[in-house]
Amino acid sequence: MTMLGNKRLRSFLRTLTMTSVLALAAVMPAGSAFAQVAGGELVVAQGSNPPSLDAMATSSGASRNINMNVYEALYGFDEKIVPMPILAEGVAISDDGLTYVFTLRQGVKFHNGDVMTSADVKASLERYLKVGATPNLEPIETVEATGEYEVTLKMKRVTPTFLESFSNPRSPAVIIPEEDANAEAGKTSLVGTGPYKITEYVPDSHVTLEKFADYTQDTRYAGPDGFGGKKTAYFDKVTFRIMPEPGAQVAALEAGEVDLLDQIPVPAARRLQNDANIKLYENLEWAFGTLILNANDGPTANIKFREAVQVALNMEEIVGIASEGLFAPNGGWAYPGSPYDVGDIGAADYYNKHDTEKAKALLVEAGYNNEPFTIITDNTIPFHGRSAVVIAEQLKAVGINAVINQVDFPTVLNLRMQDTGWNAWTLTMGIEPYLGPAAIVSTLTGTRPHFVAKDDQLEALYTELISGATQEDRKATFAKIQKRLYEYFGVIKLGDTGQMQASRGNIEGFKTFRFPRVYDVWRAN
C-alpha cells in the first residue's frame, strides 16, 4: 500500500519535471514571416464565424468578408456605388424595360478548372431565386441561356432599379458552377471564380484561402474598383482567424501573429496610433445608428409623443458614447456627398435639438401619463446596448419613464416581431445605407415595417421611389421621403458611426471597404 503512495508521488514529480521541460521548449519564439511583394501568408482576424460560405444564401457580414474574395457576380458596385460589369461584358436592356440580355466574359475559369458559360449563369440565378437570402432578384420571371456566352432575363414588371438590386452585395448573386444548381442552402462545393479559393473551414477557428493560380483577371480595368476591377492576388495564402475577444485580437496584432484586424476597438486604436508597427484605417461611413419606435403600442402610438422623443435627444452625446468617439452627427438618411444625399431636409428642425422645454410641452400635448417606455436592446452589438443606456437617461431627464430591456440579439429579433410589449428598439443599419434609399425604405414599408404601424404616405413614396425612371427622379422622391420621416417619427436617425481597422505596418495596398479586400494587398520588404 505504501508503495502506491510512493508511485503516485513519483509520477507527480515526473509530470512536474516534464511540464517544466516542455515549458522551456515552448518559449522559443516563432519564426517571422518573410518579406517580399508576391507570396507569403496574410492573417486576418474577425470576431465571428461566417454562418455560411454559400455566398448567395447568407446576408451576414462575417460571411461577406470572406466570400467576396472568393466569388464574383455578373455585376457589382464600383467604388462610387454604381453598378459595374464584373463577370459580364455588358447588358442590353430592351426599350420596354422587360428584357435584359447579359453577355458574358469569355474564358473565365472556376476554381475547379471549368470555363464559365451561360449554363452556369442560368443555374446560379435560378438557384438564387430559390435560396437567395434577399429578394434582390424577385422581379425576374425567367432565365434563359440564349448563347454560349449570353443569358436573357425576362422580367415580371418594369423595375428601373433592377441593375442596382442585381449588384447588391448584401447576399450577392454570385456565379457558381452548374453542378451546384440543386445544392441546398449552405451545401455547395464552395467553388467560385474569384482570385482566392476556399481550402479549409474550421468553425470557431479559421477559414483558409489559397491563391487561385488560374484566376482570370478582368483586363478592362487598371486595378480593383469596388467589388470588381482587375484583381491581383499577391499572397499565396490568406487565413481568416475567428477571434471573439477584441483584446486578444489587438494582442495578436501587436505580437505580429495577425496582420489585419477587420475591426479594432477605438480605445485600442488610439493607444496604438503612434506605434510605427501598426497602421490604422478609418471609415466614417460604416453604419447608421437608429432608434426605431413602435407606432402601434403604448405611448409611442401617439405621434406627438414620438416627436417629443425626437426633440429631446442629444445625438452627439448618444452616438459619441455608443461609438466610442468614431462618429459623425448626420440627421440625413444618406451619407454626405453620396449619390442620394439630400442634405438636412426635414432634419434641420428636429435633429440633435436636445430641447427639453419643447419635449415637455409635447408630452403634455400628447397627454402622456408616465406610462413605461420600454427600449429593447442587446449586448451582442455593443453600440445597441450603449446607445440605449444614453437614450434612456436623456428621456428620463424630460420626464419619460424609460425602461431598458436588454436581452440577446435573437430575443430582440423575436420581441420586435410582436406588435406590442415594446416601444423602442436600437438598431444599427450597416449595409442598407450603403445600398441606398430603396434598401432603407424597404425596411420601413410593406407588410411589416420596422415601426409596426405602417404609414400610407411612406408606402406611396416607396412605390414612387422604386419606379422612378432616372436617378434624378429617385433622388427627388427620396427628398420627400426624408421629409416624411421627420413628420412621422417612426424611426429616429441617431448619427453615422464609423469602423476602425488596423494592420501591421508592412502591409501595403490595403484600403477600407465594405469587406476586407485581400487581393492587391502585399507585404513590403
Partner 1 sequence: MLFVVSLMTFVIMWLVPGDVSAEIGGTDATPEQIQQIREQLGIDKPLLERAVSWYGNLLRGDLGHSYLLNRSVVDAVLERLPVTLSLAGLALVLATIMGTLLGIVAAVRHNSWLDQGSMVAALVGLSIPDFWFGLVLIILFGVTLGWLPTGGFVPITEDFIGWVRYMTLPALTLAFTQMGVIARMTRSSMLDVLDQDFVRTARAKGMRRGTVIFKHALRNALVPIVTVVGVTAGVLLSGAVVIETVFSLPGVGRLIVGSIQRRDFPVIQGGLLVTASIFVFVNIVVDMLYGWLDPRVRDER
Q: How far is the CB of 435 from partner 1 (least distance, A)?
A: 11
User: Footprint of partner 1 on residues 177-216 (CB under 8 A)?
Assistant: 186-187, 202-205
335 in Cβ contact with 285 (< 8 Å): yes
**Of residues 223, 408, 460, 463, which one binds partner 1 by CB under 8 A?**
408
**Of residues 51, 339, 382, 399, which one binds partner 1 by CB under 8 A?**
51
Q: Which amino acid is at 392?
A: A
Burial 141-175 (b: 16+ CB within 10 A, else e): eebebeeebbbbbebeeebbbbbbbbbbbbbbbbb
- Residue whose C-alpha cell reads 462618429 in the numeric block: 327
Contact letters for partner 1, residues 5-34 (x by CB under 8 A): xx--x--x--xx--x--xx-xxxxxx----
**Of residues 33, 41, 60, 183, which one binds partner 1 by CB under 8 A?**
60
| β-strand pairing of 150-155 with 99-104 | antiparallel
* By CB under 8 A, residue 147 contacts partner 1: no
Bin 113: left if φ > 0, else alpha if -120 < ψ < 50, else beta: left
Q: Which segment (98-106, 116-124, 411-419, 458-466) binds partner 1 by CB under 8 A?
A: 411-419
| β-strand pairing of 278-293 with 522-523 | unpaired
Tell me which H or E stretch contains 237.
strand 237-242
| β-strand pairing of 327-328 with 150-155 | unpaired
For partner 1, give the closer residue by CB, 387 or 394: 387
Q: How far is the CB of 6 from partner 1 (least distance, A)?
A: 7
Cell numbers linked to 312 = 429631446
* By CB under 8 A, residue 241 contacts partner 1: yes
For partner 1, give the closer residue by CB, 87 or 207: 207
* By CB under 8 A, residue 133 contacts partner 1: yes
State the maximum Cα–Cα separation within the chain, in Å, rounded to a whole number.
Answer: 97
Q: Which segment (117-125, 145-153, 235-243, 320-328) binds partner 1 by CB under 8 A?
A: 235-243
**3-state SS, residue 342:** coil
Q: How far is the CB of 18 from partner 1 (least distance, A)?
A: 10
For partner 1, give the closer residue by CB, 47 or 320: 47
**Of residues 407, 453, 476, 479, which one binds partner 1 by CB under 8 A?**
407
- Residues 257, 42: Cα–Cα separation, whole Å: 10
352 in Cβ contact with 319 (< 8 Å): no
Q: How far is the CB of 411 from partner 1 (least distance, A)?
A: 4
- Residue whose C-alpha cell reads 514529480 in the numeric block: 13
* By CB under 8 A, residue 276 contacts partner 1: no
- Residues 160, 266: Cα–Cα separation, whole Å: 40
**3-state SS, residue 161:** coil
For partner 1, give the closer residue by CB, 96 or 204: 204
* By CB under 8 A, residue 130 contacts partner 1: no
Of 251, 218, 369, 233, the C-alpha closest to 305 is 369
For partner 1, give the closer residue by CB, 400 or 492: 492
**Of residues 284, 361, 413, 476, which one binds partner 1 by CB under 8 A?**
413
For partner 1, give the closer residue by CB, 380 or 506: 380
* By CB under 8 A, residue 115 contacts partner 1: no
Number of residues in contact with partner 1, rule: CB under 8 A?
Answer: 59
For partner 1, give the closer residue by CB, 321 or 413: 413
User: Footprint of partner 1 on residues 426-445 (CB under 8 A)?
Assistant: 427, 442-443
**Of residues 242, 293, 492, 494, which one binds partner 1 by CB under 8 A?**
242
β-bridge partners, 162: none
- Residue whose C-alpha cell reads 427622379 in the numeric block: 473
* By CB under 8 A, residue 415 contacts partner 1: yes
For partner 1, give the closer residue by CB, 471 or 506: 506
For partner 1, give the closer residue by CB, 104 or 444: 444
* By CB under 8 A, residue 252 contacts partner 1: yes
* By CB under 8 A, residue 497 contacts partner 1: no
- Residues 438, 59: Cα–Cα separation, whole Å: 17
**Of residues 37, 115, 255, 460, which one binds partner 1 by CB under 8 A?**
255
For partner 1, give the closer residue by CB, 186 or 343: 186
Q: Which amino acid is at 259?
A: D
- Residue whose C-alpha cell reads 452548374 in the numeric block: 178
Q: Which amino acid is at 289?
A: G
Q: How many CA atoms lie within 13 A of 11 on its CB side?
A: 6
DSSP-assigned letter for residue 374: E
Q: How far is the CB of 524 from partner 1 (least distance, A)?
A: 21
β-bridge partners, 260: 44, 503
User: Footprint of partner 1 on residues 370-399 (CB under 8 A)?
Assistant: 380
**What value does the CA radius of gyration of the chain take, rounded to a whole number of Å?**
26
3-state SS record for 36-68 = CCCCCEEEEEECCCCCCCCHHHCCCHHHHHHHC
For partner 1, give the closer residue by CB, 336 or 410: 410
**Of residues 90, 147, 223, 247, which one binds partner 1 by CB under 8 A?**
247
148 in Cβ contact with 117 (< 8 Å): yes
* By CB under 8 A, residue 448 contacts partner 1: yes
Cell numbers linked to 157 = 414588371
**Of residues 338, 401, 411, 471, which one binds partner 1 by CB under 8 A?**
411
Which residues contribute to the site for partner 1 (CB under 8 A)? 1-2, 5-6, 9, 12, 15-16, 19, 22-23, 25-30, 49, 51-52, 59-60, 133-134, 186-187, 202-205, 241-245, 247-248, 251-252, 254-255, 257, 380, 407-415, 417, 427, 442-443, 446-448
